[in-house]
Amino acid sequence: MMKRVFAKEISEAIFQLVLKANFVLRKDVLKTLQSAYFQEKDFRAKRMLKILLENASISRREKIPLCQDTGMVVVFVEKGEEVRIVNGSLNEAINKGIRKAYREGYLRSSVCTPLSRVNTQGNTPAVIYTRIVKGDKLRLKLCVKGFGAENRSQIKMFAPTASEKEIKDFILKVVKEAGPDACPPFVVGVGIGGTFDKAAILAKEATLREIRNPKSKIQNKIQRLENELLREINKLNIGPMGLGGETTCLGVNILTFPTHIAGLPVAVNISCHATRSAKKVL
């Protein structure tokens, strides 16, 4: 028997998720920031981390945005095969919820047409990626991505013979070039494999994944690579908001996908200290 999900339920869920993402810093990001504050030795860096933590507290308490750039909304949908959406379409329901959130939450609408630069009003349309999966659940994950960090993201098509060192050097180069402009400390999402576009999607989705504890037992090659990159990035001395120190990056998240024998796409998505995302299952 098909599970019925009403379009208005989706709109309401998206409405709540957009507000939560803008007002409440993700628990894993907040926890990592707190840990970095206690471990940071540089005076200016420690002071800046304290300011970022105070900002998160005020934002949550007063229900005001974590950042004045309230982002462009990117939604990842996993729709169960047994789910039927009624009284509306999925994409329109999502965009309706976003428009309501930006209007009623007094959030800045930043989406415009690419060449004429005319504001679309309501911060829509969202970028939506939909997967059809088994089951009767509708899983919604979204992020509100500011473009100070998005503008510093990069992709490179490596030769299939590229070494792990070459890939690491590229990721480090992207972070160096992002520098203070992308509001560190960062969450760095990396996508490896697939096609040109798939690698970029993987990198974006990686920023939504919970930050792993770098001190936990290493379980696989990817986790080892994440930890190595985290250590090397934090040696760059960029620090919180570019003022120096040991906290340039809060976490490196890597997602992979099989690729063609003739290529090796690698994408790096830079996400700022206000890495904002939220999720819900209907």
Instruction: Show the domains of the chain with their CATH numbers.
Output: 3-20+67-145 (3.30.360), 148-281 (3.30.1330)
pLDDT of residue 72 exceeding 90 = yes
pLDDT (tens digit, 9 = 90+) per residue, 112-164? 999 999 999 999 999 999 999 999 999 999 999 999 999 999 999 999 999 99
pLDDT (tens digit, 9 = 90+) per residue, 17-61? 999 999 999 999 999 999 999 999 999 999 999 999 999 999 999
Q: What is the DSSP string of the chain?
A: -PEEEEHHHHHHHHHHHHHHHHHS--HHHHHHHHHHHHH---HHHHHHHHHHHHHHHHHHHHT--SSS---EEEEEEEEETTEEEESS-HHHHHHHHHHHHHHHTTPPP--B-TTT--B-STT-SPEEEEEEESSS-EEEEEEEE-HHHHTT-EEEEE-TT--HHHHHHHHHHHHHHHGGGG-SSEEEEEEEES-HHHHHHHHHHHHHSPPP-TTSPP-SHHHHHHHHHHHHHTTS---GGGS-SS-SEEEEEEEEE---TT-EEEEEEEE-SS--EEEEE-
Residue 218: pLDDT band (50, 70, 90) is: low
pLDDT (tens digit, 9 = 90+) per residue, 258-267? 999 999 999 9
**What percentage of the chain exceeds 90 in pLDDT?**
96
